[in-house]
Structure 1
Amino acid sequence: MGVRVNGTVAAGWESVREEFEAFVAFEAHSPEAQLAVHHEGRRVVDLWAGEDTDGDTLSGVYSITKGAAHLVVALLVQDGVLEWDRPVSSDWPEFTGDGKERLTLRGLISHQSGLINTAEGFDYEEMADDALIAARLAGQKPFWEPGKGYGYHAFVIGALTGEVVRRATGRSIQEVYEERLRAPYGLDLYLGLPAAEEGRWKPVLEMLPTPEQASALAEPLPELLAVAFNAHREPPMDLISYANHPRTRELGPASAGGIGSARGIAAMYAAAISEVDGRAPLLEAETAAEVARLHTPGPDLVTSEPDHFGLGFKQLPTVGPRAFGHSGAAGALGYADPDTSIAYAYTRRRFGFPGGTAPENERLTAAVLKVARGL
């Protein structure tokens, strides 16, 4: 359909634009996508494609939000305010019972608590409220013994880790993110969209599957996957309705409620590992290595994915052994790779099939890393 690619690339990065153009040319429906890449702290790729998307467009980025929230946690550990191996209950006394009192922050942030949801789930208003989620989960019986397995806490992990941050600092994880990261670096990635930025927000768009894809989507979800994605309610939570809900935009729940652009995501990961505008990298090398290190060998009890998490970030073996980042349900991906000094972000407003990291990220990442390694 000839969707036009707009934006710029620095000299030497033209092959990344060519890969982006090739992907867009074969899409049956406009992905409404953005791609931004920083190398050694400097933006070298700034591209977008779509009928109603430009480089400034903001939209729901789902679990990309976890990367922002858990960069906050990593900074607080680095500062000595939090400790990876301190029991969660030391900061949050109500977090007890059924083995929860033995779980450390390290175990919590690597999705080992078993508190993937409540038995009854949450409605859209409740799912936007991290404090409410945390209060209910503190007394919930885990779906497995804490620390004895791990599984993706898709819509609640940021509420749990955020409550630890709130108890230790007196500030919400959203407030600390705004003060330490978003405002100082001018990031177009918000955990709570200001009213002044609403004019740049555009909704996540529905998936347009083929008949074969639609048939696959109609299959029932495995039990724990349904619980983790709040689909065990009647009616099940719709992911697109969640991202576009006004309370999600307003409150910015730390698991999956962020609103942003590829520019904002890439700039955040660049600040994490690179010198930016004369500022030292946010993360010391030791901290960056620890959050990237595999903490969950074996299969994820919710998604069945193997070797899934570091500390708050996903494992990214196809990028590099020290890379860390997170995907987003509509197809987005953001990450930092200290070995190549790359910070990468891809977003799409058109929900891709089957959800999760969109397959085009493999080709785009390969193109980016080829240039970076050549330099």
Structure 2
Amino acid sequence: MTTNDAPRGTVADGFEAVRDEFAAAAAGEGGDFAAQVVAYRHGERVVDLWTGPEITGDSLIGVYSASKGAAHLVVALLVQEGTLDLDRKVSHYWPEFGVAGKRDVLLRELLSHRAGLAGADDGFTVDELADDRAVAERLAAQRPYWRPGSAFGYHALTIGALSGEVVCRATGRTLQEHFAERVRDAYAVDFHLGLEEEQEFRVLSTQPVLETPERLAALAAEATGANSLSGIAYNRNHPQNPELWELPNFRSVRSRGPASFGGVASARGMARMYAAAISPLDGREPLLTPDTAAQFAQIHSFGQDLVAREQKAFAVGFQATSEVYPVLGQGAFGHSGAGGQQAFADPRNGLAYGYNRRRSPFPGGPAPENERLIRALYAAADRLR
């Protein structure tokens, strides 16, 4: 790796090992690798790094399912204030939902991917997927793919629309409006569920996984049918469905900010959002009380995911991140993204983390370098206790 390829940005004293791991990840990926990593400790930014062509610390990239963390931070705030109740039926807030065997689904079951509404029988166009309220209207009338509460499966493209409709019915405002006012603007969080036109110049288009013989062979071995549950959940049953990596490159997705996958952010924005959730930040109190953070981090779904076809752990609207990275403190919560993103809050250790990259990793989901970066972050924090 040349000097020009070295990570740019800053780290606080004691966190140099994070920069070293980031440099190693860049060297291993090749010259077109572009990524950002940011971390906070007790509300203070201790890591702020980026590397690669075109990218800066302020660049915005589509963050796929990391959007779900932003969306469910809004839900957590509304539960904290008593506007929503996790133990009320979804149909209490949204009467049209209570048909086709869904009348008794609790809000906490919906938020933990247990409602059986991972997709639609006929799929969605891109413009329909970008419209959370249109997705919610379709799914409200549909019979679930499994008996609600009996199992769970990742609602990859739909959970934010379902959560958002509950928020809209209970408050008269969209989830995106709540997030912009109460999180993005109030805490100067560079995370957007609905990107304004004047911010488009900051966006880097997302890029596909590099095609290799190994990848093509793996895809062939793991292929599921378009009308399988996995195919429906990822909208492969619609004839005009684009590749997953392409979704953030549609302006309709970026402008509307569908809460399941349509967020656009920098790593600074992802890390700052989770820092604001659990720590005092610039003189402001944390968004969540310790009790609310613990409630939303509690595992509700664990075991075989019917959509992902592998073992997963979900909390309430968030992923149970400590089940993915055992070095994290119990009760850590956050969400990854298909493009390699990872972001979380660890209340026990006062840490918040955000990682973003431009090219999707193989396999999809949180990029493998996150594990090394997170271990280096925790080792540094432990030495400062």
* RMSD after superposition: 1.2
Q: Does 1:275 align with 2:284?
A: no
> Equivalent residue of 2:10, what SS?
strand
Unaligned runs of 5+ in 1: none
Match of 1:47 among 46, 49, 59: 49
| Kept after mapping to 2: 8 A contact 1:64/1:328 | yes
Report the counterpart of residue 371 of structure 1 in structure 2: 380
Indicate which of 332, 335, 347 corresponds to 1:326.
335
Q: Give the equivalent residue in structure 1 for 2:213.
A: 211
Offset of residue 304 of structure 1: 2.6
Counterparts of 1:14-163 in structure 2, within 5 Å, are 14-163=16-165
Which residue identity is paired with 2:298? R
Verify: 1:295 aligned to 2:300, yes or no: yes
**Which digits, 9 at most, give the CA deviation of each residue in 1:241-277, with x for residues without a partner?**
2111010011000000000100000000000000001
Q: CA deviation at 1:186?
A: 1.3
One-letter amino acid of the counterpart of residue 201, structure 1:
V
Offset of 1:307 from its aligned partner? 4.3
Tell me the secondary structure at the aligned position of residue 185 of structure 1: coil
1:221 counterpart = 2:224: yes
- By how many angstroms is 1:346 displaced? 0.3
In structure 1, distance between residues paired with 2:165 and 2:115: 14
Contact 1:324 1:336 in 2 (8 A): yes
Instruction: With the length of structure 2 as denominator, give the TM-score of the two structures.
Output: 0.95
Percentage of pairs with the same residue:
50
Tell me the distance in 2 between the aligned counterparts of 1:294 and 1:307.
10
Give 1:185 shift. 1.0
Counterparts of 1:209 and 1:39, CA distance in 2: 38
Residue identity matched to 1:185: Y
Q: In 1, Cα distance between the equivalents of 2:363 and 2:211?
A: 9
1:351, CA displacement in angstroms? 1.1
Aligned partner letter, 1:258? G
Q: 1:231 to 1:29 in 2, by over 3 A?
A: farther
Asked whether 1:172 is paired with 2:174, we answer: yes
Cα displacement (A) at 1:301: 0.9
Q: Is contact 2:100-2:141 (8 Å) kept?
A: no
Q: Deviations over 1:307-356 (max 9, x none)?
A: 41000010122223210000000100000001111100000111111111
Which deviates more, 233-242 or 26-35? Answer: 233-242
Task: Give the deviation of 1:216 after TM superposition.
Answer: 1.4
Q: 1:350 aligns with which of 359, 375, 384?
A: 359
For residues 62-103 of structure 1, give each alpha carbon's deviation from its aligned partner in whole angstroms, at most 9, with x where no partner exists. Answer: 011000000000000000000000000000000012321101
Q: CA deviation at 1:29?
A: 5.0
Question: Take 1:24 and 1:221, find their aligned partners in 2: how far apart are those partners?
Answer: 32
Q: Kindly indicate whether residue 341 of structure 2 is the aligned counterpart of residue 339 of structure 1.
A: no
Q: Aligned partners of 1:143, 1:9: CA distance in 2, in Å?
A: 48
- Over residues 103-127 of structure 1, what are the superposed CA-to-partner deviations in whole Å (9 max), with x where a residue is unaligned? 1110000011101111110011111
Gap regions ≥5 residues in structure 2: none
TM-score, normalised with respect to structure 1: 0.97
Question: How many residues matched?
Answer: 375
Task: Note if 1:233 corresponds to 2:238.
Answer: yes
Q: For residue 221 of structure 1, what is the amino acid of its counterpart?
A: T
Q: Secondary structure at the match of 2:301?
A: coil
Instruction: Find the residue that maps to 1:297 and give its secondary structure.
Output: strand
Counterpart contact for 1:63–1:326, Cα < 8 Å: yes
Query: What SS does structure 2 have at the residue aligned with 1:101?
Result: coil
Q: Which amino acid aligns with 1:337?
A: D
Given that residues 102 and 143 in structure 2 are in contact (C-alpha distance below 8 angstroms), is that contact kept between their aligned partners in structure 1?
A: no
Q: Is the 8 A contact 1:326 1:333 kept in 2?
A: yes
d(CA) in 2 for partners of 1:16 and 1:289?
A: 28
Give the corresponding residue for 1:195.
Answer: 197
Partner secondary structure for residue 354 of structure 2: strand
Task: Give the secondary-structure state (helix, strand or coil) at the position aligned to 1:77.
Answer: helix
Distance in 2 (CA, whole Å) between partners of 1:322 and 1:371 is 20
User: Which secondary structure state, in structure 1, belongs to the residue aligned with residue 163 of structure 2?
Assistant: helix
Structure 1 residue runs of 4+, over 6 Å off? none
Is the contact made by 1:229 and 1:237 (CA closer than 8 Å) also made in structure 2?
no
Is contact 1:294-1:307 (8 Å) kept? no
